[in-house]
Structure 1
Amino acid sequence: MMLKAKDIMTEEVVTIRGSATVAEAVKKMNDLCLRALIVERRHEQDAYGIVTETDIVYKVTAYGKDPKSMRVYEIMTKPCIVINPDLGVEYVARLFAQAGIRRAPVIKETLMGIVSVTDILNKGDFVEKPKSILLQDRIEEAVQEARNICAEKGATSKECAAAWDIVEELQAEAAHQKSERIEKTAFEVYCEENPEAAEARVYDN
């Protein structure tokens, strides 16, 4: 089973009001050794925000502004990117990379926790179980399975076509992970040996 965001998140989330001063935020972060605070929502439809040490240093310290007179809402990011607790850790990492962020709240109806790049490094299982290797194993199993089904039910059967659909989904996922094009899918290789399978693949939806 792939580790999910909820498996590695930190459950104790410290929040602050958007109307609090930046000085209050700094004190909270220093007292609790935190790098970010989640900004509370004002009502049900409101979005969560986030204020990080970087926001404070880049937007307040760097300009010599007075943290006692500036408010959190002036420097926070809102709405912030939120993570579904069931999202696989690899996708949390990919989302962080694409968005250029280091941490995000984990939310499903309520605020459940916060997940950071440190959590991914410290608690992730990507060292023992790199996703690309696991995917490769699953693809090989699925190809074997598809070949068995097609041998039994026939190259033009719906079952055969459906089995190759699974293989292609897995191959597409592996290619997306590596950001490369698939030169030849397992199904195309199979079609070279069984040309009739290709015509049957254009089946009625």
Structure 2
Amino acid sequence: MSEEATFFLPVRDYCHHNLITCSINDSVIAAAQLMRERKISSLIACDDQGQPVGIMTDRDLRGKVVADGLDPRTLKVSAIMTSPVISVKEDDTLFEVLYRMSRHRIHRIGVVDEDNTLVGFINESDIIRLQNRSPQHLLRSIDEAGNIEELRRINAEGEQLIVFLRRNGVGTTNLVQLIALINDQLTDRLIQLLKQQRFPDMGRNSTFMVLGSEGRREQTLKTDQDNAIIYADHVTAEELREIEDFSRELINALIAIGVPECPGGIMASNDFWRRSLSDWKRTVNVWIENPRSENIVNFGMLSDMRGLCGDRQLEQELRQFILEKAQNNSIFMTRMAQNVVNFSQPLGWFGRVKVERKGPHAGKIDLKKAGIFTITEGIKTLALSVGIFGGSTLEKLSQLKTRGVLDKKQTADLEATFSLLTGMRLRSQIDAADAGEEITNYVAPETLDRVEMGRLKEALEVVMALISTLRQHFRVDMLRG
């Protein structure tokens, strides 16, 4: 296995299991002496029952004690430790570690077993030893980039890295996670650069959000922008102008580094997708009261929102508002399900897979239209109707199974189908990128062998079963007009 592929091995293969702990009631100076004796840079802080509740690092000593001129003999570990301990599961991949480290701006992370018991720790230095041609190197390059041109180059390298990793046997799920992480980091770095150059106060009274597949972290190589902004109701006219200027510069910067603009205009630079919290609530109400197809699509897009920077309280309040509206408006949710049901019937007479009849992709299968859209939007609709908001499609499936909305077999079938269709789409896109061809959602039937074609037909039968579930669950056939 290549060194790049080791990033997709389980964390248990890399973490340290010899945990060194202290009590939250120990003095900081005693804890620091223990760190010096054991030649370590952090300690796990445990409560009176011996349960890990925080971590004290040499960084905490520098930033919270020495820099403030405090006496470490008078402080307890509980006063300076970081809590709770950010952790990953033993079976998670090293990419999950990288993601958590990047999002939380930390250099070490806990490892827990299936019982959620802390069993180890992993440091950034444990990963850094891998060679430069690696996801870690790419992510570091993003964090260190000083201008748009550097980020444009790195974005192109990211696509090449995905192609390389796929050729080396890395699975679809891990590649999709990596694509999401790279895109998040690129956007985050652009925002940092814009804040340094012109907009130091950006995010104080606003939130920049990604929507759609990016909000679900389910992007493949064919991706464009879907984003929006919420700002506080009390912003001044001057602050609002700054938010407008920032949104336009950010969207232009994303285009400049190689992230295409959304053909439908779903971008924060568009006034329609940049609103105050109260205006967003009013707009959601309008969509629900007028369940036209366009309004349903917009509602679905917003229902995948995920904040990348800014005031997360704004995001949480809008999330809660959308969730309450979804649960209290059964007719709208039925219309939403109807929109999914009517979108596509992937199989024709005698179970034949439908292909495009005309146009530049005639004879090819649109994998998004055939099943991916139906699964993502259908599962999202089911999830919203029972109070589940956000997360990936697989995460929503798991929660729907837990709540008894879907049974164990149908959940397993849908998980396998979604992974198969996403994998086929990503493989087709990687082949196109490798050959310098247009990246699309289409796959040519002749590129699939007999076994793959059989699996595709079985997968689309599962999609048809989901359509039936949506019809029955929401009583779609009882709607008029």
TM bucket normalised to smaller: 0.5 to 0.7
Aligned to 1:99: 104
Aligned to 1:184: 440
Q: In structure 2, give the amino acid aligned to 1:21.
A: S
Distance 1:140 1:28 in 2: 42
Q: Match for 1:24 among 20, 26, 30?
A: 30
Aligned to 1:204: 465
Aligned to 1:120: 127
Assess, with a 3 A threshold, how the Cα gap between structure 1 residues 190 and 69 changes in structure 2: closer, same or farther.
Answer: same
Q: In structure 2, give the amino acid aligned to 1:204.
A: A
Higher helix share: 2
Q: In structure 2, give the amino acid aligned to 1:7.
A: D
Offset of 1:112 from its aligned partner? 1.4
Offset of 1:164 from its aligned partner? 7.7
Residues 66-119 of structure 1 deviation map (CA, whole Å, 9 limit, x = unaligned) = 000111000111112112111101111111111111101212233311101011
Q: Match for 1:134 among 165, 173, 191?
A: 165
Residues 119-147 of structure 1 deviation map (CA, whole Å, 9 limit, x = unaligned) = 1123x689589983333565999xxxxxx
Assess, with a 3 A threshold, how the Cα gap between structure 1 residues 57 and 140 changes in structure 2: closer, same or farther.
Answer: closer
1:166 aligns with 2:420: yes
Supply the RMSD in Å over aligned alpha carbons: 3.9
Offset of 1:169 from its aligned partner? 4.9
For normalisation by structure 2, the TM-score amounts to 0.31
Distance 1:140 1:5 in 2: 16
CA contact (8 A) 1:102 1:116 kept: yes
Distance 1:120 1:11 in 2: 16
Task: Choose 78-87 or 16-25, whichever is displaced more.
Answer: 78-87
Unaligned residue ranges in structure 2 (runs of 5+): 1-5, 137-160, 173-346, 355-369, 372-415, 430-437, 446-456, 467-481
1:15 aligns with 2:21: yes
Offset of 1:43 from its aligned partner? 3.4
SS in 2 for 1:60: helix
CA contact (8 A) 1:139 1:170 kept: no
Distance 1:26 1:47 in 2: 18
Q: In structure 1, give the amino acid aligned to 2:11.
A: A
Distance 1:88 1:66 in 2: 40
Q: In structure 1, give the amino acid aligned to 2:61.
A: I
Offset of 1:48 from its aligned partner? 2.3
1:40 aligns with 2:71: no
Q: Number of aligned pairs?
A: 174
CA contact (8 A) 1:139 1:171 kept: no
Distance 2:121 2:170 in 1: 33
Aligned to 1:147: none
Offset of 1:12 from its aligned partner? 1.1
Unaligned residue ranges in structure 1 (runs of 5+): 142-149, 176-181, 192-196
Q: In structure 1, give the amino acid aligned to 2:23.
A: R
CA contact (8 A) 2:90 2:111 kept: yes
Q: Match for 1:74 among 69, 75, 79?
A: 79
Residues 145-193 of structure 1 deviation map (CA, whole Å, 9 limit, x = unaligned) = xxxxx9xx8424xxx9676851415757xx9xxxxxx9522xx3449xx
Assess, with a 3 A threshold, how the Cα gap between structure 1 residues 36 and 139 changes in structure 2: closer, same or farther.
Answer: closer
Aligned to 1:50: 55
